[in-house]
Amino acid sequence: MAALLLLGLASGLPLYLIGLTLKAWMTEEKVDLAAIGWFGLTSLPYSLKFLWSPFLDRFTLPFLGRRRGWLLLTQIALMIAIALMGFQQPKQALQFLAINAIIIAFISATQDIAADAYRTDVLTPLEMGAGAAIWILGYRIGLLVASALALILADRLPWSSVYLIMAGTMGIGIFATLFAPEPKEISPPASLTDAVFLPFGEFFQRKGVMRGLLILLFITLYKLGDALLSNMTTPFLLQTGFTKTDIGAIQVGMGLIATIVGALAGGSILSRIGINRSLWVFGILQAVSNLAYFSLAYLGKNYQAMVLAINIEQFCGGLGTAAFVAFLMSLCNQRFSATQYALLSSLMAVSRDILSAPGGAIAAVTGWSTFFLITIVAAVPGLLLLPVFAPWNSPIEAMPRPGLDQENEDLWETK
């Protein structure tokens, strides 16, 4: 669990450095609002990481084992790429900033492939709830460091210094990788061809073609409303009149606590009501919580309303994420965990990086109040799919998890 906490931190750190924090930098440099919104496309590698994930299933580097070797390599590369970001000029050379962000996203997505596979491989079925919550805790701490701390530092230091400090923080992930326990050895695919095709065939053979496609569509849409809102909250708060320190301390700092509490509460509730019912309850709360930002848009620069809106939205987001991570892990066969989890999480990233990219243009046309109502409507399609493959009275977690030895499979059936 200690290893998952620190690896989660390393996994979360790069995301906001090319997301929320970078958008704050660009807003301060007076980059066009629509361009800031479309800049979300620089995170496209997160959505496409399943394309190269078979390499991590098939090939083992000559150090630290099947999963940890890839973790160490990507973490060192991220340290270098994040440091280079500090020397960019958003206003004068936006294209070079975008290229640097894409490189970071590619390396970070590769780290996520290895980290997600490591988490899936190292946890026993009965540890999955706790492991998901601990991972989210570490991931959110990484987001805190890369956003709240970075934004507060940016009020006192040049942006170049901020990104150099963030690059050094990746050393925490390197330390965790060196001392993390190695998962139980599982035979890798015999060839790269097997690593590419067997994970897809095994998934659809196990779930059925139609049910499998509905699951993939659901994963794409479940957090769309939340992603659309998150993509534009920082520009909204800055344009409303809040300072970078306000955003760092309240939106990310206090919001992190709300997300952690939500994730831990979600893990506890999930263990009692099951994954299916958690997806229903948390998904509805996740969508309705966007009304808090709708209210803030009407009230304007009101610190009490800002604190309330941020805490409500982040708490409900933490609930939904806990159920979602456990759900994704339950779908994976450990032999192909890198490829299958990468495919599933890539679909989740589609809504965060692609479908949410027009958020800036939508907000510019409709205004902030209408935009936040649109984010609620965007959450509905994912919820409508729940009765099809996740009926309320048929808990998914009662099914045996694939890829386990018989003892653990029996435990999973008992759970």
Q: Coil, strand, or helix at residue 146?
A: helix
Mean pLDDT of 216-238: 82
pLDDT of res. 182: 81
Mean pLDDT of 79-83: 91
Give the whole-angstrom CA distance, residue 315 versus residue 57. 35
**Tokens at residue 75, please?**
């973490």
Q: pLDDT over 70 for what percent of the chain?
A: 89
Mean pLDDT of 200-204: 77
pLDDT-based confidence at 190, cuts 50/70/90? low
Mean pLDDT of 159-186: 86
- The one-letter amino acid at 11: S
Q: How far is CA 173 from CA 129, 162, 208, 251, in A?
A: 22, 18, 38, 25
- Lowest mean per-residue pLDDT among 26-35, 72-81, 205-214: 26-35
**Fold for the domain defined by 195-388:** Growth Hormone; Chain: A; (1.20.1250)
pLDDT-based confidence at 72, cuts 50/70/90? very high
pLDDT of res. 399: 40
pLDDT of res. 409: 41
Give the whole-angstrom CA distance, residue 207 versus residue 250. 43
Full-prediction pTM beyond 0.75? no
pLDDT-based confidence at 125, cuts 50/70/90? low
Q: What's the whole-number average pLDDT of the chain?
A: 79
Q: What is the pLDDT of residues 393-408, one digit of tens each?
A: 654 444 444 554 444 4
Equal CATH topology for 1-188 and 195-388: yes
**Fold for the domain defined by 1-188:** Growth Hormone; Chain: A; (1.20.1250)
pLDDT-based confidence at 78, cuts 50/70/90? very high
pLDDT of res. 414: 41
Which is more confident, 107 or 154?
107
Q: pLDDT over 90 for what percent of the chain?
A: 6
CA angle, corner 342, sides to 341 and 343, nearest 5?
Answer: 90
Give the whole-angstrom CA distance, residue 11 versus residue 71. 10
**pLDDT exceeds 70 at position 252:** no
Cβ neighbours of residue 240 closer than 8 Å, sequence gap 6 or more: 296, 297, 300, 301
Hey, which of 34-43, 91-100, 125-134, 333-342 has the most confident mean pLDDT?
91-100
Q: What is the pLDDT of residues 321-376, one digit of tens each?
A: 888 887 887 777 767 777 778 777 777 767 666 777 777 788 888 888 888 888 88
Delimit the domains of the chain by residue range: 1-188, 195-388
Closest to 319 in 3D by CA, of 267, 375, 358: 267
CA 21 from centre of chain:
16
- Lowest mean per-residue pLDDT among 15-29, 55-69, 80-94, 243-257: 243-257
